[in-house]
Structure 1
Amino acid sequence: MEPCRREEKQATIDNLPLGLDMKEVPANGYLVENLWNHPNQLSEEMVCCMRDIFLFLADPSKTSSEHIASPCSPQGHLSYSSLTSFLDSPALTSLGRSPSLETDHDSEIIIRDTLSDPYKVPGKLEWTKSIGPYSAAVEVAWFSVGKKELEYAAIALKRFRMLVEQLASVNPSCMSCNEKLAFWINLYNALIMHGYLAYGVPKSDMKLFSLMQKAAYTIGGQSLSAAYIEYIILKMKPPAHRPQIAVILALQKFKISEEQKQYSIDHPEPLLSFALSCGMHSSPAVRIFRPENVSDLLKSSLQDYVQASVGISDKGKLLVPKLLYCFAKGVVDESMVPAWISQYLSPEQAAIVRTCSAAHKWKLLGARSFSVLPFDTRFRFLFLREGKSPSSPA
């Protein structure tokens, strides 16, 4: 296994775009080409950069998110051993030739700010005034890329390209447990967002898994896909709330080298279910994870998701999203699910749940006091507001 590298190393890409200033200094004050030696800050910058690309492409004047438009999905590999960046990918080329760009209605990303109910479902009552941090989330609910958006992407992704290229010089085996955990969470979310831009919005679970296998970065000389990061590096179990992907994983065999074993976290972390976003309506929000707060933020991610995603139906039943239900079943008996959920609710929310449960006497009727909502696979990213920019490396 290669020893930990701490000396400075000049990174190169053969087809680096002309006119790119390698000494570009971002707003937070440190040089982007040195971040390979600070992998956590590198991963934080990648999430911020990809988030900013999505948000910059948004047209706030548009409000409809009923339809989802997908960019053309190219064949190929997002690994920087083959596709050096989205800037050079077939996705960019094919979008430039798309007939849809000749219409009067250019495509754009749609965002909505200050969501009162980001997981709104039919039959759910407006049951509280506050749902926690998700009420201030920004939603990207639909996207395609038009001519002017391509012009912006070509510039913005130069910076992102510099960040991704540095991953080849990172050695995750040198990181502490918390450093690994924060690094891989951020990297996974950035890679999924990058994959959506390059390959388009998948129309099914099978196509999503295909995207997760194609979308890959070269990290420390190892080409690692989003699927590999999620299920091998982060040791996630097959998702019970996504049965089709669970079946695919049962038939999938990942080859694991000794070096890649050193990249993995030491123990499975169940709360990752509320930190990793696959870009779908029922997914948790994207946020920045740092080594110094990763454990606390994972706990907060569960609580924030609970407060934002559960609700009360017009018949007085607790509405529980399938992602949360499957997680809760691994912790408590099914009959205790409402009580377990209530501990993560705000006092106002918990009081309403208790009142509805007492009023309807579900147990006496032989029916459970909650309903499970199906996992909603419509495209959507939620971004939680950050209190500060990524920390500068020492």
Structure 2
Amino acid sequence: MKRGPAYCEPVYVWKLTKEVQPKGLWDHPCQLSEEMVRCMKDIFISLADSTISSKLSGLESHYSPLSPHGHLSSSYMSSWVQSPQIDIESEVLAADDIHDPYRVHGKLSWADIGSYGLATEVSWMSVGKKQLEYAAGELRRFRILVEQAAQVNPIHLSHNEKLGFWINLYNTLIMHAYLAYGVPRSDLKLFSLMQKAAYTVGGHSFSAAAIEYIILKMKPPVHRPQIALLLALHKLKVSEEQRKFAIDTFEPIVAFALSCGLYSSPAVRIYTAMNVREELQESQRDFIRASVGVSSKGRLLVPKLLHCFGNGCVDDEKFPAWISRFLLSHQASFVEKCMSKRRQSLFSSRCCGILPFDSRFRYLFLPEKFSP
């Protein structure tokens, strides 16, 4: 991938020499894509760790524009912002020290948010010579993996294998693009980046936009109207041969697996061909449990991404009940009590509060599950 002229010098990534090559992964596309996510995750965490270390020791005075804010993010330094403690149904709601990864002011967090409570957060990185040297081993390995991806021919993969392969490749490509070009400052620039950043697979070039909207057949994102408008105005050009690499049928739940590295995006995890169905279900459940809350006035708070997705499943009246299916039993019971009270009050028409999509840079990485 070429680097943007306005950003720091990631040229070191491409000048590094090869070490021991993980042989034969090109013949195992799913495992290759898993390793690419794993490797890029390690690179991001290494770069973030080196930035924090440099900042704390006073060795760094200038930072890369990879952060949209231009300063060391306090959200990284304190990892998790404490949720406000409100004296209502305290046995159900979170105490001050419970993780709240989406940090909505006024939100009552659940006492148990599932795997997101163990997520690693990266909201700031610096990409200069010193930081790239810190991540040199992972960068060398990643270069080899990208080269092997060019030899993959996914046309004969099963539907589930294609799902896992392309989801992993998409998440990796977006992270890679941020390293090469920097974090875009608007949806327009993000869409441009998604058209520009591409990997060669099976002899064809696949951009991030093509992977998401052609190969994975995702619909224009209603929760991000600017992106949806840009998709309507710019037809993605993909050959008939490339379309043969696409999944068989549209899978709406993939929305909970794709991450653009933004604050409201779902966390990144590794998807396997064998268990991709279960992993997608877990991703939906975990995102809901981590991002949904109840306000002090008893309103159900849901992110816009989730609300738009839910509208395709149920109508607004049944939406709280649909959300409750993914919560623990005592959480679902609490939601039902709140909704029941609101239906009996003057606020019955405003049972849900929609949280806007937040486009600040941030990655959440979920820990891997290893079989015994």
**TM-score, normalised relative to structure 2:** 0.83
Give, in angstroms, the shift of residue 214 of structure 1: 1.1
1:355 maps to 2:353 = no
The equivalent residue for 1:119 is 102
1:53-87 CA deviation, whole Å, 9 max, x = no partner?
01112236679xxxx962499xxxxxxxxxxxxxx
Q: 1:20 aligns with which of 13, 18, 21?
A: 18
Q: Residue 32 of structure 2: SS of its match in structure 1?
A: helix
Q: Residue 341 of structure 1: SS of its match in structure 2?
A: helix
CA RMSD after TM alignment? 2.8
User: 1:363, 1:369 within 8 Å by CA — same for their partners in 2?
Assistant: no
Q: 1:38 aligns with which of 28, 42, 59?
A: 28
Give 1:205's aligned amino acid: D
The equivalent residue for 2:303 is 321
Give, in angstroms, the shift of residue 229 of structure 1: 0.3
Q: 1:215 aligns with which of 176, 187, 197?
A: 197
Q: 1:54 aligns with which of 44, 69, 79?
A: 44
Alignment CA distance shift 1:376-1:355 (3 Å): same
Aligned equivalents of 1:145 and 1:16: distance in 2?
Answer: 14
User: 2:67, 2:124 within 8 Å by CA — same for their partners in 1?
Assistant: no
Alignment CA distance shift 1:131-1:18 (3 Å): closer
1:288 maps to 2:270 = yes
Q: Residue 190 of structure 2: SS of its match in structure 1?
A: helix
Alignment CA distance shift 1:379-1:69 (3 Å): farther
Give the unaligned 5+ runs of structure 1.
1-14, 25-30, 74-99
Give, in angstroms, the shift of residue 34 of structure 1: 1.5
The equivalent residue for 1:78 is none
User: 1:33, 1:163 within 8 Å by CA — same for their partners in 2?
Assistant: no
Give the unaligned 5+ runs of structure 2.
1-12, 57-62, 81-96
1:369 maps to 2:341 = no
Give, in angstroms, the shift of residue 204 of structure 1: 0.6
Aligned equivalents of 1:19 and 1:325: distance in 2?
Answer: 47
Alignment CA distance shift 1:115-1:52 (3 Å): farther
The within-5 A match list for 1:303-342 is: 303-342=285-324
1:338-360 CA deviation, whole Å, 9 max, x = no partner?
11111111112212211222233
The equivalent residue for 2:10 is none
Give, in angstroms, the shift of residue 255 of structure 1: 2.3
The equivalent residue for 1:157 is 139
Aligned equivalents of 1:37 and 1:363: distance in 2?
Answer: 62
User: 1:58, 1:109 within 8 Å by CA — same for their partners in 2?
Assistant: no
1:140-195 CA deviation, whole Å, 9 max, x = no partner?
11222244202234443121110001112111101111111100000000001101
The equivalent residue for 1:382 is 364
Aligned equivalents of 1:19 and 1:304: distance in 2?
Answer: 40
Q: Residue 33 of structure 1: SS of its match in structure 2?
A: coil
Aligned equivalents of 1:229 and 1:192: distance in 2?
Answer: 11
Give, in angstroms, the shift of residue 364 of structure 1: 5.5
Aligned equivalents of 2:149 and 2:342: distance in 1?
Answer: 56
Alignment CA distance shift 1:237-1:16 (3 Å): closer
Alignment CA distance shift 1:19-1:166 (3 Å): closer
Q: 2:65 aligns with which of 54, 62, 70?
A: 70
Alignment CA distance shift 1:222-1:115 (3 Å): farther
User: 2:168, 2:270 within 8 Å by CA — same for their partners in 1?
Assistant: yes
| Aligned positions, number | 333
Aligned equivalents of 1:18 and 1:369: distance in 2?
Answer: 55
Give, in angstroms, the shift of residue 294 of structure 1: 0.4
Alignment CA distance shift 1:259-1:350 (3 Å): same
Aligned equivalents of 1:280 and 1:320: distance in 2?
Answer: 17
Give 1:116's aligned amino acid: H
1:200 maps to 2:190 = no
Aligned equivalents of 1:16 and 1:131: distance in 2?
Answer: 40
1:84-133 CA deviation, whole Å, 9 max, x = no partner?
xxxxxxxxxxxxxxxx9xxxx9999947379711011111124x311111
User: 1:35, 1:166 within 8 Å by CA — same for their partners in 2?
Assistant: yes
User: 1:108, 1:143 within 8 Å by CA — same for their partners in 2?
Assistant: no
Identity %: 58
Give 1:381's aligned amino acid: Y
Aligned equivalents of 2:229 and 2:345: distance in 1?
Answer: 34
User: 1:109, 1:142 within 8 Å by CA — same for their partners in 2?
Assistant: no
